[in-house]
Amino acid sequence: MSDTGVVLTDIRKSFGNLEVIHGIDLTITEGSFVVFVGPSGCGKSTLLRMIAGLEEVTDGEIEIKGRNVTDLDPSDRGIAMVFQSYALYPHMSVRENMAFGLKMARLPEPEIDSRVKAASAILKIDPLLDRRPGQLSGGQRQRVAIGRAIVRKPDVFLFDEPLSNLDAELRVSMRIEIARLHRELGNTMIYVTHDQTEAMTLADMIVVLRDGRVEQTGSPREIYENPANTFVAGFIGSPRMNLLNAEWTGDGSIRIGNSRIAVQIDDNRMAPGGKLTLGVRPEHMNVVVDTEGTLRAKVDFYEYLGGTQFLYCQLEDGQAVTAEYRSSVPVEAGDILHFRWQADDLRFFDAAGLRLKGAC
Amino acid sequence: MTGTGSKALLPRRKRRRRSGWRGFLYIAPAMALVILFFVMPVIFTGWMSLHNWPLMGGTRWIGFNNYVRMFHDARFMSALRFTAYYTVIVTIAIFAVAFPLAIFVEKQRRFVSAYRTIIFLPVVIGLATASLLWVWLANVDSGFIGPALKALGWVDKSPNLLATFDSAFLTIIIMVVWKIAGFTMIILLTGLQAIPADLTEAARIDGAGRWQRFRHVTLPLMRKTIALALIISVTGSILAFDQFYIMTSGGPQNRMISVVYYIFNQSFVSFNLGYGAALSIALLAILVAISIVQLWLLRVGEERP
């Protein structure tokens, strides 16, 4: 197990009688970039803070680099953390902020100096070393916060929604910066966000959480292409995947409203007349001219984004469906369109929301 | 063009002047109170201090003689010394009690608001009332402290706490701490609560222990709050009067005459109103000087040089 970065075994957390993390098992390989993603209140920050040692673990075990750190102080775990609020010491200069942890560890002065210099060179903040956090912009502060983490030379970097306080443009450039940093340093990084774009672009492995449970782990591609359930399917991807209520007829087709569409499902859990959910992403909804075996929908409104358009439509039975539309033929609200898709772009989920095996 | 321009300017200037008047109107009540009850009395006191001003009979202009007299007044000097001694001891005692209390009641724990209320409760009692209460508590026969010590078998004979300088001084210090510490605690508590939890957590990750976090993060970030609490505590102590007047009447061998007590004696016992006024002006100057030094030392308003 020594080559493994972080191992969580049956981690639980309760506040009083309320259990918020319900037994999480997770193995994070050393050097990987893992993103915890989920809606607010899903426990992703709590989980990160337990790894950091800022929150006590009610039950379970945390191992970092083969060492059980469950009951160790945050500073003894070989971690460094970057906070959403930056959490820079306002009364210290940038240099002092970065050196503080090293001073606490009683490192010799020349060593502290060289580490601060190296980190500030990586982050290009050398000219700011003598300023105070109050004199810096948001992006600069975030760099300093990352610098303070780097100088500790941790085994694991922890990021708690580090880009949430930045404006959109800065968020994109800092995201690229963090990806570059991971490439250069090669440390294990655990990153918490509710922004799925950050999750998709940064992660080697995404952990989707909901209500204190892991819904799915996997690479961004796995999560996007093979969501394990309707929650993951709906949460990852923007606009979200269309999840349509359908009925399995048992004779090689499904019924959505009045439309009958030929599909093939090899899952013996499905009985004729059974309810299921059809998942199809907006970019896989193709507008076609023929009407046989297609999905008929009326355009409610659309968003023109230049390179593409999103059509927000309504089926005859009232279900909402979103489609990405790239054709130059103009579409107006009120138009009736017919949609079809490639068979292997469809995903099926049973009544409980779990993925059904099968293809069209 | 220029003609219309200047014409257009005119009403705007008038409007600005009118809004200036309106602003003045808003602060007028407060200004009136300050002028009536602070500025004018100070000016009048200054005027009195330049006179020989007995309670009855004519006043006589004597220039700065009252101020010259002050420097050769041994009793005034000893009152200054005693006040300084008292201020230093009581301020240290208040902070030594209030700071741990503030840290104690800052954490969310069971009954924390009950603790806060109980600790704050003595603050709402008047100082004179508290002094009277403690005169009774310290009474040798019918009080509480002495008889209780005797009942516990710690002393053979109930001590007269207010009879010797040391025990009387200690009693007064304890009384004032009991009375004031809750207030200082609340001020310090607001400062503690203003420090974001993230900072403390960042310091924990940086490996700072409890004391180092206090020393390197909490204390520097509380400088403004500490400055406020310190100035309130120091000025309050320099102006101390009630407790010495009520509890010890100036203390054993008149060794507990504070500056204000001495001014009171000069003005309303000996009726040297002019000299009392001069002493008051001197005390005001001392207070202003001390506050300036404290503000400068703690550098309120900027983060650090």
Q: Do A134 and B303 touch (CB under 8 A)?
A: yes
Q: Do B95 and B11 share a structural domain?
A: no
Question: How many CB pairs below 8 Å do chains A and B form together?
Answer: 62
Q: How far apart are CA B11 and CA B18, in angstroms?
A: 10
Do residue A85 and residue B196 have CB atoms under 8 angstroms apart?
yes
Residue type, B165: F
pLDDT, residue A292, reads 80
Q: How many CB atoms lie within 10 A of CB A107?
A: 15
- Confidence band, pLDDT 50/70/90 cuts, at residue B13: low
* Judgement on whether residues B159 and B31 belong to the same structural domain of the protein: no
For residues A178 and A313, state if they share a domain.
no
Both A13 and A99 in one domain: the answer is yes
Same domain, B128 and B170: yes
Q: Are residues A28 and A156 in the same domain?
A: yes
List the Cα angle A142/A146/A152 in 5-degree steps. 155
Which tokens belong to A23?
């037994």
Do residues B73 and B284 make contact, with C-beta atoms less than 8 angstroms apart?
no
Q: Could you tell me the residue range of the domain that residue A70 belongs to?
A: 4-234
Strand pairing partners for A310? A303, A324
Share of chain B above pLDDT 70, in %: 92
**Residue B184 pLDDT:** 95
* Torsion-angle region of A258 (φ positive above 0: left; ψ -120 to 50: alpha; else: beta): alpha
Inside any domain, residue B147: yes
Give the domain CATH number at B127: 1.10.3720.10
CA distance B226 to B304: 15
Element (H, E) at A321: strand A320-325
Same domain, A106 and A191: yes
B7, B89: one domain: no
| Interchain contact, B205 vs A90, CB within 8 Å | no
A245 and A230 in a common domain: no
User: Is the Cβ pair A104, B207 closer than 8 Å?
Assistant: yes
**Are A188 and A45 contained in the same domain?**
yes
Domain boundary among A234, A268, A300: A234
CB contacts, 8 Å: B208 with chain A: 75, 100-101, 104
Residue A89 at interface with chain B, using a CB cutoff of 8 Å: yes
Tokens 């010394």, residue?
B81
Determine if residue A257 is left, alpha or beta; phi over 0 gives left, psi from -120 to 50 gives alpha, anything else beta. left
Task: Identify whether residues B17 and B108 lie together within a single domain.
Answer: no
Q: Which residues contact A133 (CB under 8 A, 6 or more apart)?
A: A86, A88, A89, A90, A92, A94, A97, A141, A144
In this structure, the answer to whether residues B143 and B235 fall within a common structural domain is: yes
User: Domain residues for B151?
Assistant: 74-298
The tally of domains found in chain B comes to 2
Judgement on whether residues A12 and A137 belong to the same structural domain of the protein: yes
Q: Are both B107 and B227 inside the same structural domain?
A: yes
Q: What are phi and psi of A30, to 5 degrees?
A: -60, 140
Q: Which amino acid is at A48?
A: L
Residue B2 pLDDT > 80, yes or no?
Answer: no
Residues A243 and A215 in one domain: no
Average pLDDT over residues A82-109: 93
CA–CA gap between residue A236 and residue A215 (Å, rounded): 12
Residues making up chain B, counted from first to last: 305
Is A241:A281 a contact under the CB 8 Å cutoff? Answer: yes
Q: In this structure, are A249 and A269 located in the same domain?
A: yes
Return d(Cα B219, Cα B215) in angstroms, integer: 6
Any bridge partners for residue A80, and if so which?
A157
Instruction: Please check whether residue A248 is in contact with residue A260, taking contact to mean a CB–CB distance below 8 angstroms.
Output: no
- Specify whether B152 is located in the same domain as B243: yes
pLDDT tops 90 at residue B295: no
| b/e A157-190 (16+ beta carbons within 10 angstroms → b) | bbbbbbbebbeeebbeebbebbbebbeeeebbbb
**CB of A52 within 8 Å of any CB in chain B?**
yes
Work out the average pLDDT over B89-98: 95
Q: What is the DSSP string of A63-103?
A: EETTEE-TTS-GGGTTEEEE-TT----TTS-HHHHHHHHHH
Question: Would an 8 Å CB–CB cutoff place A78 in contact with chain B?
Answer: no
Q: How far is CA A212 from CA A33, A47, B103, in A?
A: 21, 9, 33
pLDDT tens-digit series, residues A24-65: 999 999 999 999 999 988 999 999 999 999 999 999 999 999
Which helix (H) or strand (E) is A18 found in, with range?
strand A18-29
Alpha carbon distance A172, A192 (integer Å): 16
CATH number of domain containing A216: 3.40.50.300
Q: Decide: residue A340, CB within 10 A, 0-12 exposed, 13-18 middle, 19+ buried.
A: middle
Is residue A253 within a helix (H) or strand (E), and if so which, with residue range? Answer: strand A253-256
The CA distance from B221 to the nearest CA of chain A, in Å, is 7
pLDDT digits 0-9 by tens, B55-80: 888 888 888 888 999 999 999 999 99
Among A85, A104, A134, whose Cβ lies nearest the Cβ of B208? A104
Give the alpha-carbon dihedral of A129, B300, B224, B201, to 10 degrees: -10
Q: Are A204 and A349 in a shared domain?
A: no
Residue to mutate among B205, B214, B302, with most A CBs inside 10 A, is: B205
Query: Contact at 8 Å (CB) between B137 and B145?
Result: yes
Specify the range with the lowest mean pLDDT, choosing from A9-18, A351-360, B67-76.
A351-360
CB A219 within 8 A of CB A232: no
CB contacts, 8 Å: A79 with chain B: 205
- Rounded to the nearest integer, the mean pLDDT of chain A is 90
Task: Find, among A188, A175, A172, A232, the residue nearest to A207 by Cα.
Answer: A232
Say yes or no for a CB contact (<8 Å) between B303 and A100.
no
Q: What is the ipTM of this complex?
A: 0.84
Q: Average pLDDT in the A229-234 region? A: 93
Number of structural domains found in chain A: 2
**Residue B11, CB half-sphere, CA atoms under 13 Å: how many?**
4
Q: Check B198 against A104: CB less than 8 A apart.
A: no
Burial class, A54, CB count within 10 angstroms (exposed 0-12 / middle 13-18 / buried 19+): buried
Instruction: End-to-end CA distance of chain B: give it in Å, rounded.
Output: 52
Same domain? B127 vs B247? yes
Please write the tens of the pLDDT for every residue from A234-270. Answer: 999 888 999 999 988 877 788 888 888 888 777 767 7
Residue A73 has pLDDT above 50, yes or no: yes
Query: What CATH code is carried by the domain that includes residue A269?
Result: 2.40.50.140
Which of A219, A234, A249 is the endpoint of a domain?
Answer: A234
Tell me the residues of B at the A interface, defined by beta carbons under 8 Å apart: 196, 198-199, 201-208, 212, 216-217, 220-221, 303-304
Phi, psi angles (nearest 5°) of residue A258: -95, -10
Lowest mean pLDDT among A14-18, B9-13, B205-209: B9-13
B154 lies in the same domain as B202: yes
Looking at residue A262, what is its pLDDT?
82
Task: Give yes or no: residues B27 and B113 share one domain.
Answer: no
Q: Please name the residue that has the structure tokens 């003045």.
A: B24
What torsion, rounded to 10 degrees, do the Cα atoms B76, B77, B83, B87 define?
150
Mutating which of B108, B206, B299 best tests the A interface, going by the most A Cβ atoms within 10 A? Answer: B206
Contact check, Cβ <8 Å, A79/B303: no
Shared-domain flag, residues A62 and A124: yes
Report the C-alpha gap between A178 and B131 in whole angstroms.
64
Chain-chain contact of B221 with A91 (C-beta, under 8 angstroms): yes
In a domain, B261, yes or no: yes
User: In terms of domains, do B285 and B175 share one?
Assistant: yes
Tell me: do A141 and A63 sit in the same domain.
Answer: yes
Q: How many residues does chain A have?
A: 360
Domain end point (choices A234, A259, A292): A234
**Record: contact B202-A104, CB cut-off 8 A:** no
